[in-house]
């Protein structure tokens, strides 16, 4: 993959500033970085499920989107973008529209892991030429920080509140990237914001320009739901990767590849202590809960390394 990274990062943004996303939110960072991977000569049609991203970037009569934008219902972003792609394929075959269009859907974990999963799974199975991007902030942030199936175990949310009789969410989070990889799509990957966003950019370019269906799962922290200071977002993401809570990997034509292996894997406490949603775990008597999380992270990491051999 030959490209000038500095030149790529200097491309005009396709998501304009002035939107109403929170300071320190991961969603607009994810969107801007993904859209940088679209070549300047290409057009895009963007679809978004109902989510923080949608309500904050497209408030009638204003929009932050410079490409064509469709707001779909919570549950059907995958089907919506597939319908547009199919229509474009038919019209371009008749010479009625240009061929150089890319089709990208965005959704939070609520609209991806849960409510929109049926639509997403169908889109992946049909293997149409589109990309689905999940900006994973690990809860239903737009509607009040309720737990989702992407919420980690023992996280404090408004529907898994901590207290005398509760240590937070009691279930493990769903591993959606592996679920999508099981659809045998041409490309699926997991990434986040580390360093100069090179990993995110390269995976976005692969996803967009690989024929067929592609999926990107981007860890996109939420300052309100995770309870960290907005300026600390990069450190939170770094610790998610360095502790192997959120490994960076890709699955290309069923070949698994780990993109980054920490030289000195950090203990999970280094990730948890940065977030208020886990502060209860550091109270005396909860040491076994942190140890349990560590065992789960280690187990999943070892399984991933075996798949990538």
Tell me which residue range forms the domain holding 298: 5-307
Q: What is the CA radius of gyration of the chain?
A: 19
User: In this predicted model, what pLDDT tens digit does every residue of 22-71 receive, in sequence order?
Assistant: 999 999 999 999 999 999 999 999 999 999 999 999 988 999 999 999 99
Count of domains forming the chain: 1
User: In this predicted model, what pLDDT tens digit does every residue of 116-151 receive, in sequence order?
Assistant: 999 999 999 999 999 999 999 999 999 999 999 999
| pTM summary value | 0.96
pLDDT at 282 over 80: yes
CATH of the domain at 230: 3.40.50.970
User: In this predicted model, what pLDDT tens digit does every residue of 191-220 receive, in sequence order?
Assistant: 999 988 999 999 999 999 999 999 999 999
User: In this predicted model, what pLDDT tens digit does every residue of 215-234 receive, in sequence order?
Assistant: 999 999 999 999 999 999 99
């Amino acid at each position: 993959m030959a490209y000038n990274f500095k030149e790529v990062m200097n491309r005009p943004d396709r998501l304009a500033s002035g939107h109403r996303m929170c300071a320190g939110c991961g969603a607009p960072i994810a969107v801007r970085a993904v859209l940088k991977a679209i070549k300047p000569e290409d057009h895009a049609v963007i679809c978004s499920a109902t989510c923080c991203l949608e309500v904050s970037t497209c408030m009638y009569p204003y929009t932050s989107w410079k490409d064509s934008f469709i707001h779909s219902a919570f549950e059907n972003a995958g089907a919506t973008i597939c319908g547009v792609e199919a229509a474009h394929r038919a019209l371009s075959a008749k010479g009625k529209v240009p061929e150089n269009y890319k089709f990208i859907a965005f959704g939070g974990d609520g609209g991806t892991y849960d409510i929109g999963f049926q639509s997403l799974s169908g889109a992946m199975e049909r293997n149409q030429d589109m990309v689905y991007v999940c900006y994973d902030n690990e809860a239903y942030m737009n509607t009040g920080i309720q737990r989702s199936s992407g919420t980690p175990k023992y996280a404090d949310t408004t529907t898994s509140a901590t207290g005398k009789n509760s240590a937070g969410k009691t279930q493990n989070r769903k591993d959606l990237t592996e679920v999508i990889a099981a659809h045998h799509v041409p490309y699926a990957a997991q990434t986040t914001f580390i360093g100069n966003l090179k990993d995110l950019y390269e995976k976005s370019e692969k996803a967009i320009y690989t024929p067929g269906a592609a999926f990107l799962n981007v860890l996109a922290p939420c300052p309100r739901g995770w309870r960290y200071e907005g300026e600390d977002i990069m450190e939170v993401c770094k610790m998610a990767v360095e502790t192997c809570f959120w490994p960076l990997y890709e699955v290309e034509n069923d070949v698994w590849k780990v993109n980054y292996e920490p030289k000195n894997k950090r203990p999970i406490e280094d990730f948890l202590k940065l977030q208020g949603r886990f502060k209860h775990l550091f109270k005396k008597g909860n040491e076994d809960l942190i140890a349990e999380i560590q065992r789960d992270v280690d187990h999943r990491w070892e399984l991933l390394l075996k798949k990538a051999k």
